[in-house]
Structure 1
Amino acid sequence: MKLLIISDTHGFEQELLQVKEKYDKEVDMMIHCGDSELPSNHVALVGFQAVKGNCDIGNFPNDTIRQVRDVNLFATHGHLYNVKMTLMNLQYRAEEVGAKIICFGHSHLAGCEFVDGRLYINPGSFHLPRRILERTYCILEVKETEFNVQFFDHMHHRVESLCKTFSRKEE
């Protein structure tokens, strides 16, 4: 199963539409981790499982839980869990909801890590990245034996330094 994960687009509606159109037929699910700064019914967000960021107004849920293959995915923006300081609050919430994949934004820091059987993914910012130059999003492929996380820049080129594969045997 393949998922498109993006966050912190901050009003970039045309750019979000382009990413959506590129992957619409290639992915099984699209997730926006908040701060789209678009109305929840905006055409660029149609088809996304979108959550509310600290810069969003309107009818978005704060969090969402979705079944991905055989695991739960938990998506949130992160501001309500203080992710700029620690992932501990996010970890506690993931444990509460039984999530093995946790997607979040807010910090504008792209990256992924596998800790205690859980995959944490921050797709970075498609508008104002921090610590790297590339405006990023990612594609997560959930396979029977592994999680494959590929990061791409706004021109759809792989950002090799961020891409990782994790064995699910560690779950």
Structure 2
Amino acid sequence: MKILVMSDTHSDRAVITQVMSQQPEVDAIFHCGDSELAYTAPELQKAYKVRGNCDHDVNFPTEVIEEIDRKRIFMTHGHLFNVKSSLTALSYRAREVQADVVLFGHSHVLGVELVDGILYVNPGSLLLPRGRKEKSYAVIENIDNGWHVIFYTEEKNVIAEKTLLY
């Protein structure tokens, strides 16, 4: 399994299209909210997507749970779980839905960690990053006994890379 994860693009249609074209070999695309586009926007048609606090289209779900290659992926924007303060509420929900992977945005801060066998990934923001100057997105690949996560800039330069074993 190999997935592309982006978030917090805030109306930038071009960057969504650009990033998707850079990663044609992924099995799925996830947008963690605050696209500020319509649910039916052509740029998002190939992506699983959720509603962020800046999204006004009520057709976006607040959560997505999808199974890919026997891995359960839980995605939400993060604002309803107060992710800027703590991942505790998000981790309770992740366990409740038996997630293997949790994808979220909202804070605009990229990050990855493996906690109690669950992979948590925030791809950062492709418009207004916080904590660093580079705009970012993530590619997650399931490998033998773990995960390989690469964070890229919008120009597909590697920002950070991490392998986490479970």
Q: Which band: TM-score by shorter chain?
A: over 0.9
Runs of 4+ in structure 1 displaced over 6 angstroms?
Answer: none
Matches of 1:37 and 1:121, distance apart in 2: 21
Equivalent in the alignment of 2:162: 164
Taking a change above 3 Å as real, the CA distance of residues 34 and 64 of structure 1, as seen in their structure-2 partners, is same
Matches of 1:120 and 1:68, distance apart in 2: 16
Question: Identity of counterpart residues, as a percentage?
Answer: 44
**SS of 1:106's equivalent?**
coil
Which has the larger displacement, 14-23 or 81-90? 14-23
**What TM-score, normalized to structure 1?**
0.94
Larger proportion of helix: 1
Matches of 2:14 and 2:53, distance apart in 1: 21
2:81 aligned with 1:81? yes
**SS of 1:149's equivalent?**
strand
Equivalent in the alignment of 2:39: 40
Unmatched tracts of structure 1, length 5 or more = none
Residues 33-64 of structure 1 show CA distances to partners (whole Å, capped at 9, x for unaligned) of 00000001111101000000000011100000
Residues 138-160 of structure 1 show CA distances to partners (whole Å, capped at 9, x for unaligned) of 10001242210000001110013
Matches of 1:2 and 1:156, distance apart in 2: 16
Equivalent in the alignment of 1:105: 105
Is the Cα–Cα contact under 8 Å of residues 22 and 156 in structure 2 kept in the other structure?
Answer: no
2:153 aligned with 1:153? yes
Matches of 1:36 and 1:144, distance apart in 2: 33
**What TM-score, normalized to structure 2?**
0.97
Is the Cα–Cα contact under 8 Å of residues 10 and 36 in structure 2 kept in the other structure?
Answer: yes
Supply the RMSD in Å over aligned alpha carbons.
0.9
**SS of 1:90's equivalent?**
helix
Deviation at 1:90, TM superposition (A): 0.3
Unmatched tracts of structure 2, length 5 or more = none
Is the Cα–Cα contact under 8 Å of residues 69 and 142 in structure 1 kept in the other structure?
Answer: no
**SS of 2:158's equivalent?**
coil
